[in-house]
Amino acid sequence: MKNQIEQYFDRLFPLNRSLTGNGVRETFSILKELVDFEITEVPTGTNAFDWTVPKEWNVNEAYILTPDGRRIADFKVNNLHLMGYSVPFSGTMTFDALKEHITTRPDMPEAIPYVTSYYVERWGFCLSHNEFLTLPQEGEYYVKIDTTLEDGFMTVGEAVLPGESDEEVLFTSYCCHPSMANNELSGMLALAFLYQLLKKESKRKYTYRFYLAPETIGAIYYLSQNGMRFKEKLKGGVVITCCGDKGDYTLKKSRSDSYFNSVFKNILSAKPYKELDFFPMGSDERQYCSPGFDLPMVCFTRTMYGEYKEYHTSADDKSVIDFTALEDYVFLLKELVDSIELDDYYENQSPYGEPQLGKRGLYPTLMKIEDRGESLKRLLYLLNYSDGKHSVLDIANKMNTTVMSFQNEIQSLIAKDLLKKKDHV
Amino acid sequence: MKNQIEQYFDRLFPLNRSLTGNGVRETFSILKELVDFEITEVPTGTNAFDWTVPKEWNVNEAYILTPDGRRIADFKVNNLHLMGYSVPFSGTMTFDALKEHITTRPDMPEAIPYVTSYYVERWGFCLSHNEFLTLPQEGEYYVKIDTTLEDGFMTVGEAVLPGESDEEVLFTSYCCHPSMANNELSGMLALAFLYQLLKKESKRKYTYRFYLAPETIGAIYYLSQNGMRFKEKLKGGVVITCCGDKGDYTLKKSRSDSYFNSVFKNILSAKPYKELDFFPMGSDERQYCSPGFDLPMVCFTRTMYGEYKEYHTSADDKSVIDFTALEDYVFLLKELVDSIELDDYYENQSPYGEPQLGKRGLYPTLMKIEDRGESLKRLLYLLNYSDGKHSVLDIANKMNTTVMSFQNEIQSLIAKDLLKKKDHV
Amino acid sequence: MKNQIEQYFDRLFPLNRSLTGNGVRETFSILKELVDFEITEVPTGTNAFDWTVPKEWNVNEAYILTPDGRRIADFKVNNLHLMGYSVPFSGTMTFDALKEHITTRPDMPEAIPYVTSYYVERWGFCLSHNEFLTLPQEGEYYVKIDTTLEDGFMTVGEAVLPGESDEEVLFTSYCCHPSMANNELSGMLALAFLYQLLKKESKRKYTYRFYLAPETIGAIYYLSQNGMRFKEKLKGGVVITCCGDKGDYTLKKSRSDSYFNSVFKNILSAKPYKELDFFPMGSDERQYCSPGFDLPMVCFTRTMYGEYKEYHTSADDKSVIDFTALEDYVFLLKELVDSIELDDYYENQSPYGEPQLGKRGLYPTLMKIEDRGESLKRLLYLLNYSDGKHSVLDIANKMNTTVMSFQNEIQSLIAKDLLKKKDHV
Q: Which residue has the higher pLDDT, A397 or C365?
A: A397
- The pLDDT value recorded for residue B23 is 97
Which domains are present in chain A? 2-54+153-341 (3.40.630.10), 58-149 (3.50.30.90), 345-421 (1.10.10.10)
Neighbours of chain B (3+ CB pairs under 8 A): A, C
Res B142 pLDDT > 70: yes
Cα B101 to Cα B95, B132, B189, C68: the distances in Å are 10, 12, 34, 104
- The pLDDT value recorded for residue A361 is 87
Res A366 pLDDT > 80: no
Query: In the predicted model, what is the mean pLDDT of chain B?
Result: 96
The tens digit of pLDDT for each residue in A22-39 reads: 999 999 999 999 999 999
Considering only residues 114 to 153 of chain C, which have any Cβ-Cβ distance to chain B shorter than 8 Å?
Answer: 114-120, 122
Q: What is the mean pLDDT of residues A4-32?
A: 98
Query: In the predicted model, what is the mean pLDDT of chain A?
Result: 96
Q: What is the mean pLDDT of residues B395-404?
A: 97
Give the separation between CA A16 and CA A61, rounded to whole angstroms. Answer: 12
Question: Which residues of chain A does B291 touch, with a Cβ-Cβ cutoff of 8 Å?
Answer: 348, 351, 383-387
Question: Which residues of chain A does B219 touch, with a Cβ-Cβ cutoff of 8 Å?
Answer: 353
Least confident of B304-308, C11-15, C187-191: B304-308
Q: Are strands B56-65 and B141-150 parallel, antiparallel or unpaired?
A: antiparallel
In sequence order, the 6+-apart residues with CB closer than 8 A to the CB of A193 are A1, A4, A5, A34, A327, A330
Contact present, A35 and A171 (Cβ < 8 Å): no
Identify which of C114, C150, C121 has the alpha carbon closest to the alpha carbon of residue C21. Answer: C150
Q: E strand or H helix at C250, and its extent? A: strand C249-252
The tens digit of pLDDT for each residue in B35-85 reads: 999 999 999 999 999 999 999 999 999 999 999 999 999 999 999 999 999
Other C-beta atoms lying within 10 Å of the C-beta of residue A94: 13
The tens digit of pLDDT for each residue in B87-132 reads: 999 999 999 999 999 999 999 999 999 999 998 899 999 999 999 9
- The pLDDT value recorded for residue B371 is 44
- The pLDDT value recorded for residue C374 is 87
- In three-state form (DSSP H/G/I as H, E/B as E, the rest C), the secondary structure along chain A is CHHHHHHHHHHHCCCCCCCCCHHHHHHHHHHCCCCCCEEEEEECCCEECCEECCCEEEEEEEEEECCCCCEECCCCCCHHHECECCCCEEEEECHHHHHCCEECCCCCCCCCECCECCCCCCCCEECCHHHHCCCCCCCCEEEEEEEEEECCEEEEEEEEECCCCCCEEEEEEECCCCCCHHHHHHHHHHHHHHHHHHHCCCCCCCEEEEEEECCCHHHHHHHHHHHHHHHHHEEEEEEECCCCCCCCEEEECCCCCCHHHHHHHHHHCCCCEEEECCCCCCCCHHHHCCCCCCCCEEEEECCCCCCCCCCCECCCCHHHCCHHHHHHHHHHHHHHHHHHHHCCEEEECCCCCCCCCHHHCCCCCCECCCCCHHHHHHHHHHHHHCEEEEEHHHHHHHCCCCHHHHHHHHHHHHHCCCEEECCCC
Question: Which residues of chain B does C103 touch, with a Cβ-Cβ cutoff of 8 Å?
Answer: 368
One DSSP character per residue, B8-76 reads: HHHHHTTS---SSSHHHHHHHHHHTTTS-PEEEEEETT-EETTEE---EEEEEEEEEE-TTS-EES-TT
Q: What is the mean pLDDT of residues A126-130?
A: 97
Contact present, C23 and C178 (Cβ < 8 Å): yes
Neighbours of chain A (3+ CB pairs under 8 A): B, C
Give the pLDDT band of residue C371 (cuts 50, 70, 90).
Answer: very low
The tens digit of pLDDT for each residue in B22-36 reads: 999 999 999 999 999
* Beta-strand runs (E) in C22-140: 38-43, 47-48, 51-52, 56-65, 71-72, 89-93, 102-103, 125-126
- The pLDDT value recorded for residue A368 is 62
Contact check, Cβ <8 Å, C50/B384: no
Contact check, Cβ <8 Å, C356/A48: no
Contact check, Cβ <8 Å, C290/B385: no
| C400 and A CB contact within 8 Å | no
Contact check, Cβ <8 Å, B383/C113: no
Residue C210: strand, helix, or coil? strand
Contact present, C78 and C149 (Cβ < 8 Å): no
The tens digit of pLDDT for each residue in A48-98 reads: 999 999 999 999 999 999 999 999 999 999 999 999 999 999 999 999 999
Global confidence as pTM: 0.92
Q: In terms of CA atoms, which chain C residue is nearest residue A219? A: C353
The residue of A172, A254, A290, A308 whose CB has the most chain C CBs within 10 angstroms, and thus the best one to mutate to test that interface, is: A290
| C294 and B CB contact within 8 Å | yes
Q: What is the mean pLDDT of residues A148-156?
A: 98
Residue C371: strand, helix, or coil? coil
Give the pLDDT band of residue A367 (cuts 50, 70, 90).
Answer: low
Res A332 pLDDT > 60: yes
- The pLDDT value recorded for residue B367 is 61
Res B250 pLDDT > 60: yes
Residue in B216, B280, B292 closest to A352 by CB: B292
